[in-house]
Amino acid sequence: MSRYRGPRFKKIRRLGDLPGLTSKLTVKSKQSRYSTKSQYRIRLEEKQKLRFHYGLTERQLIKYVGIAGKTKGSTGQVLLQLLEMRLDNILFRLGMAATIPQARQLVNHRHILVNGRIVDIPSYRCKPEDIITAKDEKKSRTLIQNSLKSVPRKKLPTHLTLHAFQYKGLVNQIIDSKWVGLKINELLVVEYYSRQT
């Protein structure tokens, strides 16, 4: 099974707020009757939070951790930068899609252009100076217009610029760690995978 298609609220109640998974809000659940968590469980929950927020399979996440480990810099910070610069996440952060799964569907159905070319790979890694636009078809623009209207306006990260009337977004630079859309301890995720091997 490649993607998680089960109940989303179940994951949110267990792992906490995951804005990329659903735009709906849940009521905080009661604390578990087991008050102490093992170190393994804490690391596993952080890894699952990251995985379900970005909609990744286990294999994809392992691949991203491997790339981040070979890159110069803090492995955790590089991992978050790699995940935040994915095309489906950029569309979500721009407000062109309500959730990351919806953004993935827009990309898969060929509604999105990057630098004037159709890109149908949600994991496409955006670079600074990339221009992301909707295709010039009425259906593509309507889908994005509906998302822009329905999604409440949040403060846009500094690495992105949105021109809503032109259905266009611009990637200014690589994301800074303080603008990551998920509250997570990325070092625990790296520790989880370092102990697995």
pLDDT in tens, the chain (197 residues): 466 666 666 666 667 766 666 666 555 555 555 668 888 888 988 998 888 888 899 999 999 999 999 999 889 899 999 999 999 999 988 888 888 888 999 999 999 999 999 999 999 999 999 999 998 888 888 888 888 888 776 778 888 888 888 889 999 988 877 777 678 888 888 888 887 76
pLDDT reported for residue 9 = 66
Q: How many CA atoms lie within 13 A of 68 on its CB side?
A: 24
Please give the domain boundaries of the chain with CATH numbers for all domains: 8-83+182-196 (1.10.1050.10), 86-174 (3.10.290.10)
- Rounded CA gap, 193 and 61, in Å? 10
Mean pLDDT of the chain: 83
Q: Tell me how far apart the 2 most distant CA atoms of the chain are, in Å.
A: 54
- pLDDT at residue number 67: 93
Give residue for tokens 């991203």: 64
* Full DSSP string of the chain: --S--S-HHHHHHHH---TTT-S---PPPPPPS-----HHHHHHHHHHHHHHHHT--HHHHHHHHHHHHHSSS-HHHHHHHHHHTBHHHHHHHHTSSSSHHHHHHHHHTT-EEETTEE---TT-B--TT-EEEE-SSHHHHHHHHHHHHHSPP-PPPTTEEEEGGGTEEEE-SSPPGGG-SS---HHHHHHHHHHH-
Residue 113: per-residue pLDDT: 93
pLDDT on residue 170: 92
**Tokens encoding 166:** 């032109």
Burial of 97 (0-12, 13-18, 19+ CB in 10 A): buried
Sheet holding 117-118, edge to edge: 117-118, 112-114, 131-134, 168-171, 160-163
The phi and psi torsions of 139 (rounded to 5 degrees) equal -65, -45
What does the block give as tokens for 115? 């630098």
Instruction: Report yes or no: 96 and 143 within 8 Å, Cβ to Cβ.
Output: no
pLDDT score of 1: 41
